[in-house]
Structure 1
Amino acid sequence: MSGEAAEPQALADVVRQAGGRVIGALAARFRDLDLAEEAFAEVCVRALEAWPREGAPRDPAAWLYRAAERRALDALRRRRTRERLAPEPPEPAPTAEDVMSDDAQLIPDERLRLIFVCCHPAVAIEARAALTLRLVCGLGTAEIARAFLLPEPTLAQRLVRAKRKIAEAGVPFEIPAPTAWPERLQAVLSTLEVAYAKAHEDAAGAGPHAGYGPEMLRLTRLLAAMLPDEPEAAALAATVRYAEARRPARLDDDGLMVPLAEQDPRLWDRALIAEADAYLAHAISPRPPSPRAIQAAIHRLWCRRQRLDEPPPWTAVLTLYDLLLTCRDDPIVRLNRAVALAEVDGPAAALAEIEALPAQGLDRFLPYHAVRADLLRRLGRLGEARAAYTAALALGPGPAERLWLTRRRDGPGGYP
């Protein structure tokens, strides 16, 4: 890699790995989320110009933090001058980074600590995970909106209101005591869930969020250790491990995505599956299974396969999805259930279920179009299937998924 190409790559790497930490530290320093994001964005642009010329700094994350801190201070000086207020805020002692380091024994991971900070109960429940995904994980507004099946303007308004609420309420950017963890847990779990989904949707691991896969293995392990009596934390740790265990079988030699039912179980990581089994056992015993425990159990059904010639567990999968609907009935669960229903009762029954789902949000959800396209193809409604495949492709799948969808759309089958 040439020097000119290496520096932008170095910036991309540090933004992905440390951007959330830097923005979070700036937000803690200035108590202003918008100011933190704007200052960080400005110095990233500056780094794109300076690093190829001067070389990447020895500690890129620290460079970005200090440069953004100076930008934020400059912005505050200009703002206070315009408002005829004191020109400069006093330097805090200790810094936000110092405080976070001091609290390492409470929550022993920087990103996980910041997630707990951002999931403050003063923020509306429906906005907590979205705000954290934007601030700490660096997901774009459009990505988060698709994950929550919301129009992008609606999601953007929620983020604005959440930031305003934090500013107006004077919410401290502090590490919560363990007694405050339970009230933030669901937002924390949702954040980790969506962050991992962004990694999992890219079978080739070639996208900007590929690093979330191994990172979520680590964070869910920490969270389960912190909260040993929370079945949902153990269940999420199990789900992430079951899914990551199958990653070695998700691509064929041509770089094509391999659907779950067609993956060779001999390629799966049995050590990760054993870890997942232990987490799932803890999540379901002795208590009734939680929604995330049921989801993990569905993954477990697949991971019990040892050979490709074993029949897929479609009937058992459908039974567990029926159970899941009794405690979590949402469009994504129903969409996943329809995949199993198609194998048990046929594609016509599954398509009827999908067509009955509310259209709002799903029109921007790639799996909806992909599942619908497959069902239409199997029913011989080839023109409609082609249109559905095209709609899925328009939503920007990863390279392996794009190749698979394109071959399904354009391959043999008599499409008009």
Structure 2
Amino acid sequence: MTPLEATFRAAGGRVVSALAARFRDLDLAEEVFADACLKAARDWVDGPPADPAAWLYAVARRAALDRLRRRRTAAAHRPDEPAPTPTPEDHAMSLDEPIPDERLRLIFVCCHPAVATEARAALTLRAVCGLTTAEIAAAFLVPEATLAQRLVRARRKIAAAGVPFEVPASDRWPERMDAVLSTLEIAYAEAHADAALAGPHADFAREMLALSALLARLAPTDAEAQALAATIHLAEARRPARLDDAGAMVPLAAQDAREWDAALLRQGEAFLAASAAMARSGSPGPRALQAAIHAAHASRRQAGETPWRDILRLYDALLTLRDDPVIRTNRAVALSEVEGPATALLQLDAAAARGWLPFHVARAELLARLGRMTEAAAEYEAALALGPSRAEALFLERRRAASVAA
């Protein structure tokens, strides 16, 4: 990995967020950041500067001011001059602000209610987190062209509505919170799908762990914010057991629970307890149920077995709130442990999630348990064709080979 690629992965989102917050223009921020990266590709031939992220920010900032001057609107749009050569971190962490992380602040901006509900999280994932249109489309299980159209409309809406690039008052957070939580949820899922943390979104694991905890602290009475923090902490606790000695992914059911991170498990359970306490007067929300499912899996560390019937009941409850192919696929996995693979396969096929990698993996596993090895091998092949990360590919190649050999 080149220094520019490493800097792009580690700090690209923060730099874009800082530029967008300073110039109140998301498109401009992305354009000048791209210009800065092109300049870095030329200028860093003999090595990167001492602070690569600050270099990119400074170059992009100058490019933004030049563009504003050329538009002859610099006097109206140029903000106050900052301190000399600020780093993105100078803008990213200010505990005096209601939302102290610059990336989290811009997430709230992109989730403005002026933007269509179905486009808020998608726009944020593209603009703030740097996911590609194809990656976001896959996460939402929609065609890439459809997702691209939503992003174009969302950007136009932000520009036409004059959405202010400022921290919303806390009493306005509820109307944006679901989209904010969805953004963090999907961003973390991108990192979680990579067991070895070797892909382009590996940093999201650490960052979304921190941002979910920060948001839970900033919104202490929001049960779903507490629940998302619980889910991310409980899921990330399993990280130490997710690879075998050859670097292949180890599925959850086969992981050695003794290797799970006990401190993260305790933190996740504390967030879940806070969420549950708030939901006592009413029904739990979808993220609270998802967190409870993760907690049920985590209970294997103490109990020695997975409470599949409890997990299936939680999925049944979750389906009443969020009925989508992702939930149906995961429910089918739990159902197979309770009622067997034949019943689960019928339910899985009804989920209609072809083209989503976990669907093909789940279907392959069920077919293999039913002894239908040729069909199982074909499903593993379909999963491999979707481009999993290296650790996941190693696992799938083994399973495909075993199916062919059987």
What residue is the counterpart of 2:359 in the other structure?
A: 368
Please give the alpha-carbon distance, in whole angstroms, between the structure 2 residues aligned to 1:356 and 1:259. Answer: 24
The alpha carbon displacement at 1:30 in A equals 4.1
**For the Cα contact (< 8 Å) 1:31–1:167, is it kept in 2?**
no
Higher relative contact order (CA 8 A, sep 6+): 1
What residue is the counterpart of 1:162 in the other structure?
A: 154
CA distances 1:297-320 after superposition (whole Å, capped 9, x unpaired): 111111112369x33322221111
Please give the alpha-carbon distance, in whole angstroms, between the structure 1 residues aligned to 2:249 and 2:92. Answer: 41
What residue is the counterpart of 1:302 in the other structure?
A: 297
RMSD: 2.2
Q: 1:213-362 counterparts in 2 under 5 A?
A: 213-285=205-277, 286-287=280-281, 288-306=283-301, 310-358=304-352, 362=353
| TM-score, L = length of structure 1 | 0.89
Of residues 144, 164, 170, the one that matches 1:152 is 144
Matched to 2:160, the amino acid is E
Please give the alpha-carbon distance, in whole angstroms, between the structure 1 residues aligned to 2:20 and 2:306. Answer: 49
What residue is the counterpart of 1:394 in the other structure?
A: 385
CA distances 1:86-106 after superposition (whole Å, capped 9, x unpaired): 475556233698987778431
| Cα 1:378–1:102 shift into 2, 3 Å | closer
Please give the alpha-carbon distance, in whole angstroms, between the structure 2 residues aligned to 1:183 and 1:208. Answer: 31
| Cα 1:262–1:95 shift into 2, 3 Å | farther
Q: 1:37-76 counterparts in 2 under 5 A?
A: 37-53=30-46, 55-75=47-67
| Cα 1:73–1:404 shift into 2, 3 Å | same
Please give the alpha-carbon distance, in whole angstroms, between the structure 2 residues aligned to 1:392 and 1:49. Answer: 38
**For the Cα contact (< 8 Å) 1:266–1:307, is it kept in 2?**
no
Q: Which runs of 5+ in 2 are unaligned?
A: 83-87
**For the Cα contact (< 8 Å) 2:141–2:356, is it kept in 1?**
yes
**For the Cα contact (< 8 Å) 1:264–1:307, is it kept in 2?**
no
Q: Which runs of 5+ in 1 are unaligned?
A: 81-85
Structure 1 stretch displaced more, 95-104 or 19-28: 95-104
Matched to 1:343, the amino acid is E
**For the Cα contact (< 8 Å) 1:21–1:114, is it kept in 2?**
no
The alpha carbon displacement at 1:153 in A equals 0.8
Of residues 9, 14, 23, the one that matches 2:16 is 23
SS of match in other structure, 2:351: coil
Please give the alpha-carbon distance, in whole angstroms, between the structure 1 residues aligned to 2:266 and 2:325. Answer: 31
Please give the alpha-carbon distance, in whole angstroms, between the structure 1 residues aligned to 2:92 and 2:249. Answer: 41
Of residues 101, 117, 126, the one that matches 1:125 is 117
SS of match in other structure, 1:224: helix
Identity of aligned residues (%): 60
Structure 1 stretch displaced more, 400-409 or 200-209: 200-209
